[in-house]
Structure 1
Amino acid sequence: MNSKVLKTLEYQQVKRQLEPYLASAAGQQELTELQPTADVAAVQLALDETNDGAEVYRLKGGIPIARLADITPHMKRLAIGATLNGSELGQVGRVLKTTRAIVRFFDDLAEDAPENGIRHLFDEVQELVTLPAVTKRLATAIEGDGHITDDASPELNRIRGNVRKTEAEIRSKMETYTRGRDSKYLSDPIITIRNDRYVIPVKAENRSRFGGIVHDQSASGQTLFIEPQAVMTLNDRLRQNQVAEKQEEQRILEELSNLIAPYRDEITQNATMLGHFDFINAKARYAHAMRATEPQVSAANEVYLRQARHPLIDAHKVVANDISLGTDYQAMVITGPNTGGKTITLKTLGLLQLMGQSGLFIPADEGSRIGIYNEIFADIGDEQSIEQNLSTFSSHMENIESFLDQIDQHSLVLVDELGAGTDPQEGAALAIALLDAIGAHGTQVVATTHYPELKAYGFNRPDTINASMEFDEQTLKPTYRLLVGIPGRSNALDIAQRLGIPQSVVDQARSLTDSDSQDLNAMIADLVAKRKQVEDAQIQLKQQVADSEKLHRELKSEFNAYQQRKDQLVEAAKTQANEIVANSKTKADAIISDLRKKQLMSGHATIKENELIDAKGALNALEQQPKLKKNRVLRRAKAQHDFHEGDDVLVKSYGQRGVLVQNMGNHQWEVQLGILKMKIEEADLEKVKPEAEPKRARATVQSAHASHVSPNLDLRGVRYEDAMTQVDRYIDAALLAGYPSVTIVHGKGTGALRQGITDYLKTNRQVKSFHFAAPNHGGNGATEVQFK
């Protein structure tokens, strides 16, 4: 893109608005090199990246890029074997730490980002190279400001300890001079440093009082800075430790420089990628601040800017306009008075096009489109030059002549006041000829003019449309709104009349105006009035549609609330029914227990166990199951009825867990329920996950809850005597493990084992309470025990 149009349309001003959002030197460099491009793929990629940045900004508040310096010179110095200083190593370390942080950030973002929300950044972050060992070493040895830490090496830590200790001894010794009786011989009771040695300011006449060495004197010569004899040995020792400290620090710097030297390319690439992420972040934040949107890209140069706003005008003052070009017409002629907004409209179109081709979002509503132009040419403003002896007209002609030979069907031409600065009749003729010459190249053009002849040109020429800037006749002020399809009318006589010019003068002026011009103005006035009527009707229609949609949403919300309330009432009724069934089941359990006792007393097995289970199953079938249609997780779980042998299932009518043994056909399965095998209908089965076995502790140190003690004891199939022994041991083990409660599964059977466990629990002092389990957890086939 030619540099002249960038200057004319103030492209650099937009780039300056982006600068405050950048944090890295590499990002600043990328902004400096930013230029519009005519490569469709490159433009789309840049817009995709800006969209990714905007998505990250929405989800996480932006990419967390730290302030990073330019490390390119450091890497070049490493290439020739130089040693970096602490500040330079700190800057490199900050790049590595930021690299690691960005990789972690995008790992976390992957869990929150919607599918297809991020287009490219997840792939680009894969180019970052993390160097964990190098990063950790630099972070340990160098602080952010370049200071070498005590932990950089054990030797440095030891030397600095000696320095601190020696300094403390020197200060303690010298404080006897500043606070004791010798303080009267000092100019000031302070301890200071001269030539890297601790000294005290002594009055010149008391020079021999302290002995030692004079390192400096005041400008007046009245004060001598003396190192007392008593601290000379300590100062010597301090100086030796300081020299050793400098040597060790230099050794550490060389070591760290050698450590990162093999990774120069990776670190440089990381810095470049971080700068790129910083630039993407800046584009997203800039778009958010401007309320800008992503434009669609039209390779056919069909431009449509919805409610476009100039980015350099105050957002509270700018007037938005719809601007279209390249679909129904290739040329637009905008007419109207001065200060009506014609020039700003031209600049808005050109600047937004430059922004879009630079990968920036544009200040326009969603659904806007931009073209891809190889070149944009603009002749805007008065560029007359006294030095070059050029008038305004000559300047415009030179500009137009400079691009007439360069334009083609992939160019956009913006011309302000075409043909101005010369005789109106000749200027109008020249303007028409220039528009024809530009159109002959298939070039899209938008031109502004005062000449009424061009209104007829815009009406008669194919692929050309008239446009104007609206003028409020009531306030005599422009509204800055673009009216496409309506040529501008002259308002001079109306304005003169409203401003108080005598009616006779205005009437005489009208009489001097030809009838064609008056008819044209009348026609334009009628078009403007009709357009306003249509716009008012459209606004009213939009309001009616909005009201209808609001009413529809309210009705839909009320209907959903009704459906939800109805479902709640049904569920409440089922809950109440279940309570009745539960009471009935409790009574039935008591009856069945009484039957078992009578059977045992009679010694005749007249009632079989499976008959008892069938009886209880019939009672369980009375229980109402809540609807699960609105619970997606449960709905998906119930939909899994792909049964296989060995699957764990729940027999819904019995409320018992079991294992599938074999398929009996006719939608029936043989199910192992404890010690029993039963034939169950497939509709009465629900697949469940296997009961998780107690997890084994991985750590070498275990808590008091021993992992080998289960909270459940299963005694089904165990003989009475063995079962009671296991119960006694299990209760002790559970108490030692600190369990607040346990469950003992004893089955139903004859009831002897259940009664024996009940008698045992009554006599155990550590048992607070016990009761049978809930129906869906075994019922009276299991006992839940609470400890004190």
Structure 2
Amino acid sequence: MKGFDQQTLHDLEFNQIREWLAAFSIGATAQNRLENLAPNNDFDTIEFELLRLNEFKRIRVEGESFPALDFEELLAEIKLLPIHNAVLQQEGFVRITRASELVNHMLHFFDKRSQDFPNLFALLNNVYFTRELIEAIEKVFDRRGQIKDDASAELYAIRQQIAKLRNQINRNFDKEMRRYLKEGLLGDTKEAFINERRVLTVQSSHKRKIGGMVVGSSKTGSLTFIEPAINIPLNNELEMSLDDERKEIFRILRELTREIAHHLPLIEAYQELLTEFDFINAKTKLALDLNANLPGIVRNTRIELIDAFHPILWKTNKALGKVTLPQSLVLDATSRMLVISGPNAGGKSITLKTIGLLQIMLQAGLLIPVHENSKFCFFQQVLTDIGDNQSIENELSTYSYRLKRMKFFLKVSNRRTLLLLDEFGTGSDPELGGALAEVFFEELYKRKSYGVITTHYANIKLKADRLPNAVNGCMLFNTETLEPLYRFSMGQPGSSFTFEVAQMNGIPLDLIEQAKGKLDQNRVKMDHLLNELNREKMYLQRLNKEHIEAQELANHAREEFIEKKQRIDERLRNQQELAEKNNLFINSGKKMKSFIDRYQTRTRKKDANKPLMEDVRKYLMVEKSKIEEAKRKVELMKAEAKPQKPVAKKRKTQKPEEDTYQRDKIVVGSTVKMIETKQNGTVEEIKGHMLTVTFGFMRLKVEREKLMWIK
């Protein structure tokens, strides 16, 4: 089976998706393709189209400056250009210019983005950047699409002559009109245009007083239209000049068409490229409209829906202001046949249709409204049996139709088939139909097909529970309010809630009890058990949800606490550093205050403050040495952190290591000894390897190597 089953597309309402797509198209070519869009089972082609579409969606979502797809198709031009002596219309040249400019903009866009959007970039293989077409057309046409006066020397001369004639005709006409207006011979409108010529509107009673040619009259006959005699030869000359202009324009356009025809392969590539982008752009607009994503594509047969929406239901509910609940489920090798049960109007069919419609949309190269972490494979065929398809023309009942469909399914189904069977087995006697449905179910299971089946039959639910690669699922029902929740739950069958729904719709309780009495008690107990299981499952789900929410709240509070503690610790460290700095400033201030207090100003002794100044100098030297020592420690720590270079062998003339160590200890304020003279002094300043040392009343600059540290 090569193509997809048309009944499947009808059952899943794929035509609605096509209509939405066609409305987003620009040209007729893309529109026609979208109106006839169908799923494909060429897996490599589908995957390539999806990747390309997802790249274009990224461009739109990320706000990239992609050029606007403003173009008209070039089908008429492509048809005419190969014909000898054919002439394109003026509008055709305008369309070619716009197409060439648009493609040039697209090439510029992808110039530095070819690695970001490789699949889209591949579409540009047959086009290239050129301005030859544009420049050739711009020599003839202006920006408004009109032929320029200087398109040729002959055209320029003709148009000059036309302008001169029109000016003369207008001057003559205005002069004649003023003269006859004074004489009261003209009607209220004074003038009119007939056959593109200015004519006088003359009262018919005065028409013989006007020199000229009568060209018509009003409907009532009260007015006569006369062309002034003085303008008749000029208008005839103008007509001939206009004819000359038309011939020259035709010649110019024919020459331009011949020149453009050399670029026919490029123009055909323009048409193909722009219509392909129109096709992709329409798909992208639908994806943005549906909040659609590209799920993970897997080669093994597996469907994993996460937060999936039925697109038609979602749009309908959105327009009505209703909330649509997403669905999540898994079909894989261990659960390839899913049997969904539950109450009527609980959402079984819409869950089945969601799976089917999303699958065929994906295989038609469309993004789908699911979470991007969802996973999909590709099927060779998707087959459906949904709804009442009885045919009066073919005299088919619903059940006969379903049997014919089942015969078809048994013929074509394989491990790459997805079956969607709604209300499986209905349409006949419940017991007989249920038995036949069970046989069909087993046969489809043996063929290793994948399927989603909705049913009320207990034997089908039981069979799904017994088969290792089948699984039950149910639509949840609120047993307290007796209302469907429209949420799918996988792993257990669901009750049909027949009596509960009947009670909800106002059926008297005594009638419901009578009905229960007519049933096999085991059947009643089973239905009651399913109700209890459903209630307990909902309770456990509520507890689990509350536990998850509480855990998330606790984790959030813990993260807030850690973040707050880090901020407080940082603030505390900053305050401690500030306090240490302030203490240092306070102690220094106190010391300087004591020096100020000791300073004598009311004494005549010349050296009264000398001891004080000596103490100040020593204090400053000591403080300075502390700062220098701190800096030196930091530098040593940095040096130790760097990788050490291999140490060269010491020469015999080198100083002992002890002397080097002693010299390294020298700082400002240190007491040192001159090695040669044995004099002791105090270091006042250090600049590189030169030190300023005070020896008694002498200050000398001495090299560090000539000094020995004392203390």
Q: With structure 1 as the length reference, what TM-score do the two structures score?
A: 0.67
The one-letter amino acid paired with 2:537 is R
* Secondary structure at 1:405 match in 2: helix
Q: Does 1:507 align with 2:513?
A: yes
Instruction: Describe the superposition over 1:96-153 as per-residue Cα deviations: whole angstroms up to 9, x where unpaired.
Output: 111112122334667xxxxx65342234335432331212332453468854344644
The one-letter amino acid paired with 1:269 is A
Match of 1:473 in 2: 479
Match of 1:223 in 2: 223
> Following the alignment from structure 2 to structure 1, what is the Cα–Cα distance between the partners of residues 487 and 212?
88
Q: Does 1:443 align with 2:475?
A: no
* Secondary structure at 1:201 match in 2: strand
In terms of mean alpha carbon deviation, does 340-349 or 547-556 score higher?
A: 547-556
Match of 1:388 among 381, 390, 394: 394
Match of 1:98 among 102, 105, 122: 102
Q: CA separation of 1:344/1:495 partners in 2, compared to 1, >3 Å: closer, same or farther?
A: closer
Match of 2:430 in 1: 424
Match of 1:258 in 2: 258
Alpha-carbon offset, residue 423 of structure 1: 0.5
* Secondary structure at 1:120 match in 2: helix
| Matched length | 585
**Contact 2:78–2:268 (CA under 8 A) maintained in structure 1:** yes
**Contact 1:25–1:68 (CA under 8 A) maintained in structure 2:** no
The one-letter amino acid paired with 2:90 is G
* Secondary structure at 1:141 match in 2: coil
Match of 1:83 in 2: 87
Match of 1:543 in 2: 549
Match of 1:491 in 2: 497
* Secondary structure at 2:202 match in 1: strand
In terms of mean alpha carbon deviation, does 172-181 or 410-419 score higher?
A: 172-181
Q: Does 1:453 align with 2:459?
A: yes
**Contact 2:287–2:368 (CA under 8 A) maintained in structure 1:** yes
> Following the alignment from structure 2 to structure 1, what is the Cα–Cα distance between the partners of residues 502 and 59?
57
Match of 1:285 in 2: 285
Match of 2:185 in 1: 185
Match of 2:134 in 1: 135
**Contact 2:126–2:266 (CA under 8 A) maintained in structure 1:** no
Structure 1: unaligned runs, 5 residues or longer: 111-115, 577-617, 628-640, 642-664, 667-788
**Contact 1:333–1:467 (CA under 8 A) maintained in structure 2:** yes
Q: Does 1:125 align with 2:108?
A: no
**Contact 1:201–1:225 (CA under 8 A) maintained in structure 2:** yes
Instruction: Describe the superposition over 1:40-89 as per-residue Cα deviations: whole angstroms up to 9, x where unpaired.
Output: 22122111111111111122267433332221232121112221111122
Q: Does 1:175 align with 2:158?
A: no
> Following the alignment from structure 2 to structure 1, what is the Cα–Cα distance between the partners of residues 383 and 143?
49
Q: CA separation of 1:180/1:305 partners in 2, compared to 1, >3 Å: closer, same or farther?
A: farther
Match of 1:648 in 2: none
* Secondary structure at 2:189 match in 1: coil
Q: CA separation of 1:497/1:353 partners in 2, compared to 1, >3 Å: closer, same or farther?
A: closer
> Following the alignment from structure 2 to structure 1, what is the Cα–Cα distance between the partners of residues 70 and 488?
44
**Contact 2:333–2:469 (CA under 8 A) maintained in structure 1:** no
The one-letter amino acid paired with 1:45 is F
Match of 1:3 in 2: 6
Q: CA separation of 1:453/1:180 partners in 2, compared to 1, >3 Å: closer, same or farther?
A: farther
> Following the alignment from structure 1 to structure 2, what is the Cα–Cα distance between the partners of residues 146 and 623?
81
> Following the alignment from structure 1 to structure 2, what is the Cα–Cα distance between the partners of residues 569 and 125?
64
**Contact 1:55–1:118 (CA under 8 A) maintained in structure 2:** no
> Following the alignment from structure 1 to structure 2, what is the Cα–Cα distance between the partners of residues 285 and 265?
30
Match of 1:235 in 2: 235
> Following the alignment from structure 2 to structure 1, what is the Cα–Cα distance between the partners of residues 260 and 630?
72
Q: CA separation of 1:370/1:150 partners in 2, compared to 1, >3 Å: closer, same or farther?
A: farther
**Contact 1:21–1:282 (CA under 8 A) maintained in structure 2:** yes
Match of 2:670 in 1: none
> Following the alignment from structure 1 to structure 2, what is the Cα–Cα distance between the partners of residues 215 and 231?
13
**Contact 2:334–2:468 (CA under 8 A) maintained in structure 1:** no
> Following the alignment from structure 1 to structure 2, what is the Cα–Cα distance between the partners of residues 117 and 17?
29
> Following the alignment from structure 2 to structure 1, what is the Cα–Cα distance between the partners of residues 578 and 217?
97
Q: CA separation of 1:154/1:205 partners in 2, compared to 1, >3 Å: closer, same or farther?
A: same
Q: Does 1:37 align with 2:40?
A: yes
The one-letter amino acid paired with 1:424 is P
**Contact 1:62–1:281 (CA under 8 A) maintained in structure 2:** no
The one-letter amino acid paired with 2:94 is G
The one-letter amino acid paired with 2:197 is R
> Following the alignment from structure 1 to structure 2, what is the Cα–Cα distance between the partners of residues 100 and 34?
29
> Following the alignment from structure 1 to structure 2, what is the Cα–Cα distance between the partners of residues 227 and 496?
91
Instruction: Describe the superposition over 1:189-212 as per-residue Cα deviations: whole angstroms up to 9, x where unpaired.
Output: 354333343322323333333322
In terms of mean alpha carbon deviation, does 364-373 or 328-337 score higher?
A: 328-337
**Contact 1:417–1:448 (CA under 8 A) maintained in structure 2:** yes
Q: Does 1:345 align with 2:345?
A: no
Q: With structure 2 as the length reference, what TM-score do the two structures score?
A: 0.74
**Contact 1:459–1:465 (CA under 8 A) maintained in structure 2:** yes
Q: CA separation of 1:273/1:566 partners in 2, compared to 1, >3 Å: closer, same or farther?
A: farther
* Secondary structure at 2:239 match in 1: helix
**Contact 2:307–2:327 (CA under 8 A) maintained in structure 1:** yes
Alpha-carbon offset, residue 162 of structure 1: 4.2
Aligned runs of 1:591-740 on 2, under 5 Å? Answer: none
> Percent same amino acid at aligned positions?
29
> Following the alignment from structure 2 to structure 1, what is the Cα–Cα distance between the partners of residues 528 and 477?
15
> Following the alignment from structure 2 to structure 1, what is the Cα–Cα distance between the partners of residues 124 and 569?
48
Match of 2:23 in 1: 20
> Following the alignment from structure 1 to structure 2, what is the Cα–Cα distance between the partners of residues 75 and 300?
45
Q: Which has the higher contact order (CA 8 A, sep 6+)?
A: 2
Q: CA separation of 1:510/1:445 partners in 2, compared to 1, >3 Å: closer, same or farther?
A: same
Alpha-carbon offset, residue 10 of structure 1: 1.7
Instruction: Describe the superposition over 1:734-762 as per-residue Cα deviations: whole angstroms up to 9, x where unpaired.
Output: xxxxxxxxxxxxxxxxxxxxxxxxxxxxx
> Following the alignment from structure 2 to structure 1, what is the Cα–Cα distance between the partners of residues 387 and 150?
65
> Following the alignment from structure 1 to structure 2, what is the Cα–Cα distance between the partners of residues 373 and 288?
25
The one-letter amino acid paired with 1:88 is G
> Following the alignment from structure 2 to structure 1, what is the Cα–Cα distance between the partners of residues 388 and 112?
55
**Contact 2:471–2:491 (CA under 8 A) maintained in structure 1:** yes
Instruction: Describe the superposition over 1:368-411 as per-residue Cα deviations: whole angstroms up to 9, x where unpaired.
Output: 11221111111111111222211111111122222321121111
Alpha-carbon offset, residue 481 of structure 1: 1.7
Alpha-carbon offset, residue 157 of structure 1: 4.8
> Following the alignment from structure 2 to structure 1, what is the Cα–Cα distance between the partners of residues 576 and 77?
74
> Following the alignment from structure 2 to structure 1, what is the Cα–Cα distance between the partners of residues 570 and 131?
55
Highest Rg: 1 or 2? 2
Match of 1:66 among 44, 54, 69: 69
Structure 2: unaligned runs, 5 residues or longer: 583-624, 635-641, 649-711
Match of 2:53 among 36, 47, 50: 50
Match of 1:415 in 2: 421
Q: CA separation of 1:541/1:126 partners in 2, compared to 1, >3 Å: closer, same or farther?
A: farther
Match of 2:680 in 1: none
Instruction: Describe the superposition over 1:143-201 as per-residue Cα deviations: whole angstroms up to 9, x where unpaired.
Output: 68854344644554554454345334433432344455437323343543333433223
The one-letter amino acid paired with 2:208 is S
> Following the alignment from structure 2 to structure 1, what is the Cα–Cα distance between the partners of residues 422 and 129?
54
Q: Does 1:296 align with 2:296?
A: yes
> Following the alignment from structure 2 to structure 1, what is the Cα–Cα distance between the partners of residues 551 and 333?
29
RMSD: 3.6
* Secondary structure at 1:216 match in 2: strand
Instruction: Describe the superposition over 1:614-640 as per-residue Cα deviations: whole angstroms up to 9, x where unpaired.
Output: xxxx9xx9999xx9xxxxxxxxxxxxx
**Contact 1:198–1:235 (CA under 8 A) maintained in structure 2:** no
